[in-house]
Amino acid sequence: MDDLDQLEAQSVYILREAYRKLKPLAMLWSLGKDSNVMLWLARKAFLGRVPFPVMHVDTGKKFPEMYRFRDEYVKKWELELLLGDCPPVEEIDPTLPPAARSAARKTAGLAAMIEKYKLEGVIAGIRRDEQATRAKERVFSPRGSSHKWDVRNQPPEFWDQYATPHEEGVHIRVHPLLSWREIDIWRYIEREGIPLVDLYFSKNGKRYRSLGDQDITSPIESEAATVAEVIAELQTTRTSERAGRAMDHESEDAFERLRVAGYL
Amino acid sequence: MSNDILRQDAATPIVIVGHVDHGKSTLIGRLLHDTDNLPEGRVAQIIESSRKRGLKVEWSFLLDSLQIERDQGVTVDSTRIPFLLGNRQFVIVDAPGHRQFLRNMITGAADAEAAVLVIDAAEGAQEQTRRHAMLLRLIGIRHVVVLMNKVDLLEYDEHKIAASEQAVAALLKQLDIEPSLFIPASAREGDNIASRSPRMDWYKGPTLTEALALVPSPAGRADLPLRLPVQDVYRFDSKRVVAGRIERGRVSVGDTLVIGTHGTTARVASIESWHTAPQISAVAGQSVAITLEPDVIPDRGDLLHRPDEAPIRTARIRSRLFWLRQEPLRVGESFRLRLATAEHQVTVASIDSVVRLDDLTEHASDHVPPEGFAEITLAASESILFDAFTPGTTDGRGVLVDRHQRIVGGAPLIGPAEIASGTKAIHPTDSTVSLWDRAQARGHRGGVFWMTGLPGAGKSTIARAAESRLFAQKIDVSVLDGDTLRAGLCADLGFSEADRTENVRRAAAVARILAETGQVVLVALISPRAADRELARQVVGEGFHEIFVDADQATCEARDPKGLYQAARAGRISGFTGIDAPYDVPATPDLHLATGAGSVGDVADRLAGYVADSVTLAEATRRRS
């Protein structure tokens, strides 16, 4: 087994654990590259099916290409799609810096969906190498009724034995891609031929490396127009993946505050 | 796309351990920096963060990614960082060296292939050095590199460093750890980390990066006897598929397999997959889905193996243990043992030895302290199939889970345990219905409300009145009354101190059983001694509430509903609480009910209100009711 086989086997194991242990269960689908890989892995785990709904928490500010992609693949992959919207920015903590405040809308929208569908498990495509605070995450990360991430008091997690809901109001965030790096995601996309929204590929010398809301995501200078070219670019690049995400950089702890409050 | 970009070896996890302040974080910062593994701008960020806090460049900020960590100078949770050395991938695991270290470290380190033990060469091995080394042995890490750090403090002197090394080597020898290497280094100055130190010409061994490059890749488990624990069984279309990850060995279409303890055999009819080339065989590490012929239905946790390669089968297991709960472990406690995908009810039959961390010797003890290491014997209610844990394998090691679903210990299994003569060979069974399942079904949790007070204070009267109020609110409630117990279950007991204690213990044991079925139990029992009530609290565990039913003795004696005070005054009964036996007034009851004045109805309302608040679930979470 090479490293991609091993990452795949581990993610499949995690998804099967989640499906067995957490009911009701749903998978977050942000329409980005990571969540497409995650959906693909679910189809690997369940032999071509996705036996739980996928959830799009819609900020209303995604790129039009992303909405078109969503509608196309819901049909092609026979997905059960749950849609949720987000409260207006005026209802969000005004002490957050502007972009973080905008991003926090998604936290509120997600919380509302978890409440509405009484979800016990939410599968999310975060990775440790994306952002320093995510490096401290668990594969199964319990969240109390306020959905807060209590980083000081995380349960032990080892030997593939994961936390299960232990009291009322607790749901589990499941992170099957935690051990994947950005370049692994792209290598797997190449190996498997996973479809992506074309904003990731260079047009007029620019492409998106990470996709969020239109107003708080910016493209990078790049000539990479195919998956292979993106991989080649990543092998030499020294900038971080989320450099184009405004909310990560407003203040030293902006992203940490978002995450503690329940952001992905 | 060239093949070598898509095909690489899996990352090798390396854990960095050592006593607090011996330089773990500095080492990792230095290592990432000197090997060009830091993203652009990260160094500038660290310099800026350090400057803001009035510090010199603080490498640990690389890992301490949270604001609280940087502000307080502590690491609160383990971090995993991908790290490239040439073309080889590693994952560096860093864990906090202090509070709840074990829990955090085990989370990161449990799968590590190699460890770097960082020791301040000037200070030598410390308490956490011993603790970490012990853990490395327990989780079976085979390759240990000892980094003798801060040798600048010993003026890079060969003899001083050698003396320090010898002391560490002696300590590790006690644990049967044979370090592959000692490296004299200074992480802060960069000596012998990624480049050879010009200040220690006498050292001819490898630098740290050279040593890491020498760590062998994780060995394959494909040549061991097949172990495939069933993870789940799906029925897709008309096909039944058995899903699981192969922990050891390989499986091929046509193989005959034994299914779990019931011993049924079946043939592997196919290996199913989606979007891969058809497979006729699969090896350890792969998550597979197979169909069986005949179409038997295994359960989750069943271990599939070949008929001639059976694992150990026993209901009594000897195991090593690292204990993660904040309260000590005692004999007789019951847990779920999760072993791969299986779950078994086990009871701690004996604590065979506990490691003393001061000198790493093993000695007898009746408990395992928090973050302690021990050897124990587990008794199960059924036969368990397993293999003894050996380094480099992924099974043969379980976790202990308490009834609140918390992981409280890690248990690398040693082998079957003999039933020693004279031991109580009890193997309690337990329900697979969890407390939480029951609570959801009923809309309320179970609980024990222990009502103590003088004879005649009104315990039984109030308990009965509250019982009918709670029952009307659809709460499943019952009363355990002292007199009722003494008429039956405790008919053999008198009123001596010892008998009173036993009376309390039995009442508490029954209350616990009822509470575990999800009932609310009101116990009306004089239980005059504080020590006995503490015993009751321990027997019941969580969900115990002490209720003080308080009326002064004159009032109780005036009420005297059972004529007992009169009888005691007349000397016809002795050892009567309040007359010639003491009553310890509860110091901090969870609820204080004064019954001297006011109606029974009012007091019962208060009690019922308190009970209902304590056990009722929030509406939003009452999903399955």
**pLDDT in tens for each of the 264 residues of chain A?**
889 999 999 999 999 999 999 999 999 999 999 999 999 999 999 999 999 999 999 988 888 999 999 999 999 999 999 999 888 888 888 888 888 888 888 889 999 999 999 999 999 999 988 877 788 889 999 998 777 888 777 888 999 999 887 777 889 999 999 999 999 999 999 999 999 999 999 999 999 998 887 877 889 999 999 999 999 998 887 777 777 777 776 776 777 777 777 887
B241 contact A CB<8A: yes
Percent of chain A as helix, strand, coil, to the nearest 5: 45, 15, 45
Residue A114 falls inside a structural domain: yes
Overall average pLDDT of the B294-316 stretch: 93
**A49 residue type, one letter:** R
Residue indicated by tokens 């086989």: A5
Tell me the two tokens of residue A200.
């990731």
**Could you give the C-alpha distances from B506 to A205, B135, B439, B491, in angstroms and in order?**
79, 40, 25, 12
**Distance separating alpha carbons of residues B595 and B227, to the nearest angstrom:** 65
Selection from B273, B365, B262 nearest residue B313 by Cα: B262
Catalytic residue numbers of B read 527
H or E element, residue A228 = helix A227-236
pLDDT, tens only, B190-225: 999 999 999 999 999 999 999 999 888 777 788 999
Which residues partner with A84 through β-bridges? A57
What 3-state class would DSSP assign to B81? strand
Residue A162 falls inside a structural domain: yes
Q: Which of residues 15-34 of B touch A (CB under 8 A)?
A: none
Residue B603: what are its φ and ψ, rounded to 5°? Answer: -65, -40
Q: How far is CA B90 from the centre of its chain?
A: 28
A78 contact B CB<8A: no
Residues of B in contact with A190 (CB under 8 A): 1, 6
Cα Rg of chain B (Å, integer)? 31
User: Of A168, A179, A229, A249, which to mutate for an interface test with B (greatest number of B Cβ within 10 Å)?
Assistant: A168
The answer, yes or no, to whether residue B26 has pLDDT greater than 70, is: yes
B300 contact A CB<8A: yes
Overall average pLDDT of the B99-108 stretch: 74
Q: Which of residues 156-185 of A touch B (CB under 8 A)?
A: 156-161, 163-169, 179, 181
> In chain A, how many domains are there?
2
Contact A47 B324 (CB under 8 A): no
**ipTM confidence:** 0.93
How much is the pLDDT for B625? 34
How much is the pLDDT for B620? 39
The answer, yes or no, to whether residue B424 has pLDDT greater than 60, is: no
Contact A44 B103 (CB under 8 A): no
Residue A255 falls inside a structural domain: yes
Structural contact between residues B413 and B385, judged by C-beta atoms closer than 8 angstroms: no
How much is the pLDDT for B621? 45
User: Looking at the structure, do residues A65 and A82 belong to the same domain, yes or no?
Assistant: yes
User: Looking at the structure, do residues A70 and A120 belong to the same domain, yes or no?
Assistant: yes
Selection from A115, A107, A106 nearest residue A260 by Cα: A107
Contact B407 A118 (CB under 8 A): no
How much is the pLDDT for A224? 94
> Band of the pLDDT at B162, cuts 50, 70, 90?
very high
How much is the pLDDT for B76? 60
Selection from A183, A236, A213, A162 nearest residue A14 by Cα: A162
How much is the pLDDT for B624? 36
End-to-end CA distance of chain A, in Å?
31
The answer, yes or no, to whether residue B1 has pLDDT greater than 60, is: no
Tell me the two tokens of residue A179.
């051990």
Which residues of B are annotated as part of the binding site for ATP?
453-460
Count other C-beta atoms under 10 Å from residue B522's C-beta: 28
Q: How far is CA B245 from the centre of its chain?
A: 23
Contact A2 B41 (CB under 8 A): no
Tell me the two tokens of residue A132.
């320093």
Least confident of B241-245, B298-302, B359-363, B425-429: B425-429
CA distance A135 to chain B (A): 5
B491 contact A CB<8A: no
CA distance B180 to chain A (A): 25
User: Looking at the structure, do residues A164 and A202 belong to the same domain, yes or no?
Assistant: no
The answer, yes or no, to whether residue B588 has pLDDT greater than 70, is: yes
Contacts of range A240-244, beta carbons closer than 8 Å, 24 or more positions apart: A240/B39, A240/B40, A240/B41, A240/B42, A241/A129, A241/A130, A241/A182, A241/A209, A241/A210, A242/A130, A242/A131, A242/A210, A243/A209, A244/A208, A244/A209, A244/A210, A244/A217, A244/A218, A244/A219, A244/A220
Overall average pLDDT of the B48-69 stretch: 71
User: Looking at the structure, do residues A121 and A220 belong to the same domain, yes or no?
Assistant: no
User: Looking at the structure, do residues A121 and A209 belong to the same domain, yes or no?
Assistant: no
B5 contact A CB<8A: yes
User: Looking at the structure, do residues A22 and A37 belong to the same domain, yes or no?
Assistant: yes
Count other C-beta atoms under 10 Å from residue B130's C-beta: 21
**Distance separating alpha carbons of residues B314 and B297, to the nearest angstrom:** 23
Cβ-nearest to A16 among B7, B81, B232? B232
CA distance A133 to chain B (A): 6
Residue A190 falls inside a structural domain: no
Which residues of B are annotated as part of the binding site?
453-460
User: Looking at the structure, do residues A28 and A56 belong to the same domain, yes or no?
Assistant: yes
Contact B82 A191 (CB under 8 A): no
Cβ-nearest to B67 among A8, A160, A256? A256
Task: Tell whether omega for the bond before A24 is within 30 degrees of 0, i.e. cis.
Answer: yes
Contact B76 A151 (CB under 8 A): yes
CA distance B440 to chain A (A): 8
B406 contact A CB<8A: yes
Percent of chain B with pLDDT over 90: 44
User: Looking at the structure, do residues A137 and A220 belong to the same domain, yes or no?
Assistant: no
Residue A131 falls inside a structural domain: yes
In A, minimum Cα distance to B275 occurs at A44
How much is the pLDDT for A164? 86
**Distance separating alpha carbons of residues B276 and A80, to the nearest angstrom:** 24
How much is the pLDDT for B480? 92
User: Looking at the structure, do residues A110 and A202 belong to the same domain, yes or no?
Assistant: no
Contact B410 A4 (CB under 8 A): no
3-state secondary structure B428-451: CCCCCCCHHHHHHHHCECCEEEEE
Domains of chain B: 3-213 (3.40.50.300), 228-305 (2.40.30.10), 313-416 (2.40.30.10), 436-620 (3.40.50.300)
pLDDT, tens only, B441-457: 888 989 999 999 988 88
A132 contact B CB<8A: yes
**Distance separating alpha carbons of residues A255 and A249, to the nearest angstrom:** 8
Residue A232 falls inside a structural domain: yes
A249 contact B CB<8A: no
User: Looking at the structure, do residues A172 and A58 belong to the same domain, yes or no?
Assistant: yes
How much is the pLDDT for B96? 66
CA torsion sign for B260, B262, B268, B270 is negative
Cβ-nearest to B79 among A135, A138, A238? A135
Contact B78 A136 (CB under 8 A): yes
> Band of the pLDDT at B623, cuts 50, 70, 90?
very low
**Distance separating alpha carbons of residues A248 and A175, to the nearest angstrom:** 20
Contact B405 A157 (CB under 8 A): no
Contact B106 A44 (CB under 8 A): no
pLDDT, tens only, A36-51: 999 999 999 999 999 9
Query: What CATH number should be reported for the domain holding residue A158?
Result: 3.40.50.620
User: Looking at the structure, do residues A134 and A165 belong to the same domain, yes or no?
Assistant: yes
How much is the pLDDT for B339? 96
CA torsion sign for B259, B264, B270, B274 is negative
Strands B228-236 and B303-305: antiparallel
For residue B495, give the DSSP letter.
S
Residue A35 falls inside a structural domain: yes
Residues of A in contact with B542 (CB under 8 A): none
Q: Which of residues 106-165 of B touch A (CB under 8 A)?
A: 106-107, 110-111
The answer, yes or no, to whether residue B99 has pLDDT greater than 80, is: no
CA distance A264 to chain B (A): 15
The answer, yes or no, to whether residue B157 has pLDDT greater than 50, is: yes
Cβ-nearest to A2 among B8, B77, B81? B8
H or E element, residue B266 = strand B264-272
In A, minimum Cα distance to B104 occurs at A156
Q: Which of residues 229-248 of A touch B (CB under 8 A)?
A: 231, 235, 238-240
Which residues form the domain of A216? 195-248
User: Looking at the structure, do residues A51 and A148 belong to the same domain, yes or no?
Assistant: yes
Residue A37 falls inside a structural domain: yes
Contacts (Cβ under 8 Å, ≥6 apart) of B193? B27, B30, B31, B34, B185, B187, B207, B208, B209
pTM across the whole model: 0.80
CA distance B403 to chain A (A): 9
**Distance separating alpha carbons of residues A70 and A67, to the nearest angstrom:** 5
